């Protein structure tokens, strides 16, 4: 038995070693920014302290920029689809839509659709808009023509733990599920028809990614994973976590945002 253990141990060590990603530095981009996003093609987006939204190609080369200060402070940016970038302005109750060159393509005043106080918004997988309406505590979907509400969840208080505030700050649609982040209570999960499915018990998050069956989020200076089917948690090792503000993975790329720049790695 001892001989068997000694033979198996080196094999296990090799398997563990192969599970750790090997990173290759691609480029360091000097920019003072506070937002990091990535799209489905591996392009990176950062929002600078001067309110410039900069887009970079997967190799780190510059692609385009747009100054978005004109509408005031931005609440969230959805860059999950390179062809439609959504900017949400909570104070103005408005969503501005950009194209792949970051030029303004359109906008919608949510009040025109009867949404008085939205707290979170994101692009739907079919290019409509998801909005969480804080007035009646409902997740609502606006069609791609931005003319009418096609889906509503009903008041979500019935699904939340008693006494927990409902103040969603982030929405993500991966094509089959809609994830609504409520920092105080966890992540509410809906189907594409706005029907509630379950709550993921991850609290205190600001935003996250959903890639295949993994929910990925940066917290406590670590890039963490939560498996949607098994609820198992893990940590993705980083080449360097010093002064990292945010981290993302996309298309065999790792993106690290620091106060003074964006670093891209291949893995």
Task: Give me the pLDDT at residue 172, please.
Answer: 98
68 occurs within a structural domain: yes
Task: Give me the pLDDT at residue 192, please.
Answer: 96
Total domain count, the chain: 1
Nearest one of 230, 202, 198 to 214, comparing CA atoms: 230
Task: Give me the pLDDT at residue 68, please.
Answer: 81
229 occurs within a structural domain: yes
Nearest one of 260, 252, 247, 211 to 80, comparing CA atoms: 211
pLDDT confidence bin for 7, thresholds 50/70/90: very low
pLDDT confidence bin for 168, thresholds 50/70/90: very high
Three-state secondary-structure class, residue 104: strand
What's the pTM value of the predicted model, to 2 decimals?
0.89
122 occurs within a structural domain: yes
pLDDT confidence bin for 19, thresholds 50/70/90: low
pLDDT confidence bin for 161, thresholds 50/70/90: confident
Mean pLDDT estimate for the chain: 90
Nearest one of 19, 24, 21, 37 to 265, comparing CA atoms: 24
Cα–Cα distance between 240 and 210 in angstroms, integer? 23
Task: Give me the pLDDT at residue 9, please.
Answer: 41
Name, in order, each residue with C-beta under 8 angstroms of 25's C-beta and a sequence gap of 6 or more. Answer: 263, 264, 265
pLDDT digits (tens, 9 = 90+) for 205-261: 999 999 999 999 999 899 999 999 999 999 999 998 889 999 999 989 999 999 889
Tell me how long the chain is. 267
Over residues 148-158, mean pLDDT: 96
pLDDT digits (tens, 9 = 90+) for 81-129: 999 999 999 999 999 999 999 999 999 999 999 999 999 999 999 999 9
Look up the domain containing 252 and give its range: 24-266
Task: Give me the pLDDT at residue 20, please.
Answer: 67
73 occurs within a structural domain: yes
Cα–Cα distance between 40 and 174 in angstroms, integer? 11
Nearest one of 38, 39, 35, 63 to 50, comparing CA atoms: 35
Q: What distances in angstroms separate CA 258 from CA 28, 38, 111, 205, 261, one per listed residue?
A: 10, 15, 36, 19, 5
Q: What distances in angstroms separate CA 176 from CA 50, 194, 212, 231, one per listed residue?
A: 36, 11, 11, 18
52 occurs within a structural domain: yes
4 occurs within a structural domain: no
19 occurs within a structural domain: no
- What is the domain-level CATH number for residue 163? 2.120.10.30
Task: Give me the pLDDT at residue 71, please.
Answer: 75
Task: Give me the pLDDT at residue 264, please.
Answer: 97
Cα–Cα distance between 131 and 121 in angstroms, integer? 4
Task: Give me the pLDDT at residue 13, please.
Answer: 38
12 occurs within a structural domain: no
pLDDT confidence bin for 64, thresholds 50/70/90: very high
**End-to-end C-alpha distance for the chain, whole angstroms:** 38
């Amino acid at each position: 038995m001892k001989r068997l253990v000694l033979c198996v141990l080196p094999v296990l060590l090799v398997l563990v070693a192969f599970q750790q990603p090997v990173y290759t530095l691609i480029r360091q981009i000097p920019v003072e920014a506070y937002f990091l996003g990535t799209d489905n093609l591996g392009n990176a987006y950062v929002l600078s302290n001067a309110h410039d939204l900069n887009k970079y190609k997967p190799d780190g080369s510059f692609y385009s920029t747009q100054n978005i200060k004109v509408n005031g402070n931005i609440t969230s940016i959805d860059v999950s689809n390179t062809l439609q970038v959504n900017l949400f302005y909570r104070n103005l109750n408005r969503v501005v839509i950009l194209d792949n060159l970051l030029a303004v393509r359109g906008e919608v005043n949510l009040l025109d659709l009867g949404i008085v106080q939205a707290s979170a918004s994101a692009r739907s997988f079919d290019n409509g808009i998801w909005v969480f309406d804080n007035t009646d505590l409902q997740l609502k979907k606006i069609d791609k023509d931005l003319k009418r509400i096609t889906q509503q969840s009903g008041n979500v208080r019935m699904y939340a733990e008693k006494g927990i505030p409902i103040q969603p700050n982030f929405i993500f649609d991966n094509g089959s599920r809609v994830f609504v982040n409520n920092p105080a209570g966890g992540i509410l999960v809906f189907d594409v028809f706005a029907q509630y499915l379950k709550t993921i018990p991850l609290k205190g998050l600001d935003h996250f990614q959903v890639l295949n069956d993994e929910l990925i989020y940066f917290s406590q200076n670590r890039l963490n994973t939560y498996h949607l089917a098994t609820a198992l948690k893990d940590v993705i090792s980083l080449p360097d976590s010093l002064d990292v503000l945010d981290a993302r993975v996309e298309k065999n790329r790792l993106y690290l945002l620091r106060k003074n720049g964006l670093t891209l790695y291949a893995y």
